[in-house]
Chains A and B, each alone.
Chain A
Amino acid sequence: MSLFDRIERLMGAQPKSKNDAKQRLKLVLLHDQCDISPKRLEEMREEIVAVMQKYVEIDREAIDFKLHKENGKIALVSTVGVNRVNSRQVA
């Protein structure tokens, strides 16, 4: 960020909207291409988290669950914060 950009921002200029456009587009295109709605993805996330909770205590604030596209292939990438590993195995 240049000095002028910083001054502009200090003076109340809006952050660049093209970045919003690009991010939102990338996400919506991924969903379009896999034919999965954000709601369905959310359901999948909840179900996976529920399974994981049987084994570890999850930090629900620290869950990153996203579709990514790399080299034309779609991947589901997730990072889940773990507070504590449950020492006792759940049956």
Chain B
Amino acid sequence: MPQCIVVTSGKGGVGKTTTSANLGCGLALAGYRVAMIDGDIGLRNLDLILGLENRIVYDLVQVIEGECKLKQALIRDKRVEGLYLLPAAQTRDKNAVKPDDMKRLIGELKETFDFVIVDCPAGIEQGFKNSIVGADRAIIVTTPEVSAIRDADRIVGLVEAHELPEPELIINRYRGGMVARGDMMNKDDILEILAIPLIGMVPDHEDVIISANKGQPAVFDEASVVGAAYRRITQRVLGEDVPMPNFDRQDEIGFLATMKRWMGLAAREAV
């Protein structure tokens, strides 16, 4: 059955767009037909992360206002079969779209696609409401930082208020070295606070920036640890039981590691 997944977080800059792009590409690589919607009207970025920014002709607002057909606005990603992007408008504001419009649009997309991925904007206002209204399932992205977790908790409440099933959590930018030193909340600390099921963890790694620079999501890169993390997330989204690797680096704990850090011998956070 077709499914619409909204990727949300509350706080900005935690990796919603990167997650949406990688999940969308991951699902397409697994053989599904996927439509990705950039829900961030006025501040679109999913096109850039996917490397499709030069191919935009029409956008979501134009589809809703009837200026073009849905099919015309969908950009086909040539890297993988069955992957499409519906870009956001860049010069309009988010009030140009109403929740009912989004619901109708997503319903239409679900007739031809297996998955519709909505990249939700930051915040809890109109853009959030538009993004969540057509969703069957919500994925919340957070980082191990107090501000991101607080906002994620707020989103958990709002998702439940929209009568969606319990949202699933992705912990992004996890730094094993800091966790090992006790300077970053670990997986269990975060799950204790947010109390929703974990669907994936992504290490804080330079691959994320490099793949954004290129417009090529890490999930395409077989050698990337970030890509591997997103491939596992994709499998879990599809219902497979994939074990969570341990990102907590034990080698950085203890007296010797501290001495090394002081002397500048240890790598400053390679992961």
Cα-based distance from A6 to B154 in the complex (angstroms): 38
Instruction: Report if B182 contacts A (CB, 8 A).
Output: yes
Cα-based distance from A77 to B194 in the complex (angstroms): 22
Q: How many A-B residue pairs have CB under 8 A?
A: 47
- Contact flag A32-B189 (CB < 8 Å), given A13-B258, A19-B182: no
Q: Which of B81-89, B99-107, B145-153, B163-171 contacts A (4 or more CB under 8 A)?
A: B145-153
Instruction: Report if B90 contacts A (CB, 8 A).
Output: no
Interface bits B147-191 vs A (CB < 8 Å: 1, else 0): 001100110010000000000000000000001011111100100
Question: In the complex, are the beta carbons of B183 and A29 less than 8 A apart?
Answer: no
Q: How extensive is the interface on chain A, given as a class?
A: 10 to 19
Question: In the complex, are the beta carbons of B186 and A25 less than 8 A apart?
Answer: no
Nearest-neighbor residue (CB-CB) of A25 within chain B = B146
Cα-based distance from A18 to B182 in the complex (angstroms): 6
Instruction: Report if A79 contacts B (CB, 8 A).
Output: no
Shortest C-beta distance, A12 to chain B (Å), equals 10
Which chain A positions have C-beta within 8 A of B254? 2, 4
Majority DSSP secondary structure for residues of A touching B: helix
**Which of A4, A22, A25 interacts with B150 by CB under 8 Å?**
A25
**Which of B145, B153, B258 interacts with A29 by CB under 8 Å?**
B153
Instruction: Report if A17 contacts B (CB, 8 A).
Output: yes
Which chain B positions have C-beta within 8 A of A33? 153, 157
Which chain B positions have C-beta within 8 A of A91? none
Binding site for B on A (CB under 8 A): 2, 4, 7-8, 11, 13, 16-19, 21-22, 24-26, 28-29, 32-33
Binding site for A on B (CB under 8 A): 145-146, 149-150, 153-154, 157, 179, 181-186, 189, 192-193, 253-256, 258
Beyond known contacts A2-B254, A18-B182, A22-B192: 7 more, CB 8 A cutoff: A7-B255, A8-B258, A11-B258, A16-B182, A17-B182, A17-B183, A29-B193
